[in-house]
Amino acid sequence: MQIRKALPAGPLGFGAAPLGNMFRNIPDAEARATVDAAWDAGTRYFDTAPFYGAGLSEIRLGAALAGRRRDDYLLSTKVGRLILDDVEDVAARDQGEKGDIFKHGRPNRVVYDYSADGAKRSIDDSLRRMGVDRIDFVWVHDLAQDFHGDGWLGQFETARKGAFVALDRLRDAGVIGGWGLGVNKVEPVEVLLGLAEVRPDATLLAGRYSLLDHEAALQRVMPRAAAAGVDIVVGGPYSSGVLAGGAHFEYGAVPEAIRAKVEAIKALCAAHAVPIKAAALQFSLAHPAAAAIIPGASRPERIAEDHAALRAAVPGEFWRALRERGLVAPDAPLPGEGAGRRFATASASVTLPAPADRVWALIGGFGSLPDWLPFIRESSLAEGGRTRHLRDVDGHPIVERLTSFDERGRRYGYHILQAPFPVTDYDATLRVSDAGDGRARVEWSGRFIPAGVGDAEAVRVFQAIFEDGLKALAARFAG
């Protein structure tokens, strides 16, 4: 089941991680008042996890929702960790890159378990802690590098054979509405979307599609998820709070480069009278793959701010200025673009056994397509190199305009002005990044509005171009 079709009251949900005493010791009354405020404001989607305070978030959320009609709200939690009855030294817990964010939580021992039995036991434990009779969506939690380091793929394999299969069967049996990952990294989502043996319904991606950090997800996750019909729930839209006046980014101190970007966004918001929360929430929801967004809150007054931010009228000039000043990726969908029309997306990527600079030297020139793309027979530049006139192998003319170029970042974006393709409003990005060990990763993605054909047919056209083109490029570096 797609989560966008199950949401009872719009895309704005409530992320209950703070209820687990994230960063501070929150009084029970304040936690309860925050959930009550969310309900009174119209929030009907709530997300929690056993990890949040070793069960504390689930306990508090369940108590606050007790007495509410269960059919009136959507509830998601997570599996992958079991909360045991025995206690441990909270300060000694290994929480990966997340440090001691839940040092004020319960002292119960927390252990990883991505097996099928572990997933089912975790669901049963969550039902008991929250006092509910069902969970709508279940996310396999923190199956990524930030918690498991180099061993994350081994844990992923355990989940592939265990938790994924169990959740697929529970969904098919109607016990849960759907499942997916709940992670802070794009790589596990990429792997999940490539599996054929299971069918995830949605995925919670935290912190990776925000104003401050969205390029990797934009290139590698969002287009594939949209094409596969896998909804993305955006977590952490305020980047751990720094976009809402907080002191944290990625659960830690704010780096100077991020602080400078925040200040630049704040200045632009002030110039256009736009609340920064409105910019953050509305940007994250503008991508067609994004179905819901779940900012966290531990104080009642924050809830009203979030709802007001989502409703706020933001002028188009603000979004265009964000793009023009390089504060968002040039190909990131912005609110209001293609009003009433839904963009389709396609993307492909390949890892090559060559340094990124060497690959970029071959494909980074705006006039270089005939050097590596068999589909294109000739190319000539005009308007000072900003427009390229192409001819494909069948003799069809194609005209494209350069919209952005980043030599240091090894990336350029372009817009099609004329082509024999059944689309309009086509924008694409070609990017080369360092994949480590002397390897390069090439990502090619585009978004467009189908014209006279269905989304699937338009996507197939560009998916084939991207995939065939990158296969040809890989052949140049083979051996």
Domain of 223, in residue numbers = 3-324
Q: Each residue of 281-295: pLDDT tens digit?
A: 999 999 989 999 999
C-alpha pair distances (Å), 209 with each of 186, 212, 350: 10, 8, 22
Question: 40, 71, 72, 78: which one is catalytic?
Answer: 78
CATH for 473: 3.30.530.20
Identify whether residues 228 and 261 lie together within a single domain.
Answer: yes
| Residue 339 belongs to a domain | no
Identify whether residues 246 and 277 lie together within a single domain.
Answer: yes
pLDDT over 70 at 479, yes or no: no
Identify whether residues 373 and 471 lie together within a single domain.
Answer: yes
Q: Each residue of 186-207: pLDDT tens digit?
A: 999 999 999 999 999 999 999 9
Q: For residue 42, give the amino acid letter.
A: G
pLDDT over 70 at 341, yes or no: no
Which residues is 296 bridged to in the sheet? 15
- Confidence label for 1 from pLDDT (cuts 50, 70 and 90): confident
Identify whether residues 18 and 115 lie together within a single domain.
Answer: yes
Identify whether residues 297 and 379 lie together within a single domain.
Answer: no
Torsion, Cα of 450, 456, 457, 463 (10° steps): 100
- The pLDDT of 443-457, averaged and rounded, is 83
| Residue 16 belongs to a domain | yes
| Residue 333 belongs to a domain | no
CATH for 290: 3.20.20.100
pLDDT over 60 at 99, yes or no: no
pLDDT over 50 at 393, yes or no: yes
End of a domain among 267, 294, 324?
324
* Residue 157, φ and ψ in degrees, nearest 5: -65, -40
Identify whether residues 92 and 192 lie together within a single domain.
Answer: yes
End of a domain among 293, 324, 355?
324
- The pLDDT of 21-42, averaged and rounded, is 91
Give the count of domains, the chain.
2
426 is catalytic: no
Strand pairing category for 411-418 and 202-206: unpaired
Identify whether residues 231 and 310 lie together within a single domain.
Answer: yes
Identify whether residues 293 and 177 lie together within a single domain.
Answer: yes
78 is catalytic: yes
Identify whether residues 250 and 164 lie together within a single domain.
Answer: yes
* First-residue to last-residue Cα distance in the chain: 44
- Confidence label for 245 from pLDDT (cuts 50, 70 and 90): confident
Q: Are 349 and 433 in contact (CB under 8 A)?
A: no
277 is catalytic: no
Identify whether residues 316 and 356 lie together within a single domain.
Answer: no
Longest dimension (CA), the chain: 72
pLDDT over 60 at 340, yes or no: no
| Interatomic CA distance for residues 349 and 338, integer angstroms | 26
| Interatomic CA distance for residues 323 and 313, integer angstroms | 18
**Buried-state track 218-246, b at ≥16 Cβ within 10 A, e below 16:** bbbbbbbbbbeebbbbbbbbbbbbbbbee
| Interatomic CA distance for residues 23 and 151, integer angstroms | 27
Q: Which of 234, 239, 243 is nearest to 189 (CA)?
A: 234
Question: 45, 52, 73, 412: which one is catalytic?
Answer: 52
Residue identified by tokens 């929801």 is 285
Identify whether residues 47 and 108 lie together within a single domain.
Answer: yes
| Residue 147 belongs to a domain | yes
- The pLDDT of 35-56, averaged and rounded, is 95
| Residue 335 belongs to a domain | no
| Residue 176 belongs to a domain | yes
* Residue 434, φ and ψ in degrees, nearest 5: -80, 120
* Average pLDDT, rounded, for the chain: 90
Question: 45, 47, 98, 427: which one is catalytic?
Answer: 47
| Residue 195 belongs to a domain | yes
Identify whether residues 185 and 266 lie together within a single domain.
Answer: yes
| Amino acid 189: pLDDT | 97
C-alpha pair distances (Å), 6 with each of 1, 10, 76, 136: 8, 10, 12, 9
pLDDT over 50 at 339, yes or no: no
Which one is predicted more confidently, 299 or 131? 131
Residue identified by tokens 């966008």 is 4
| Residue 445 belongs to a domain | yes
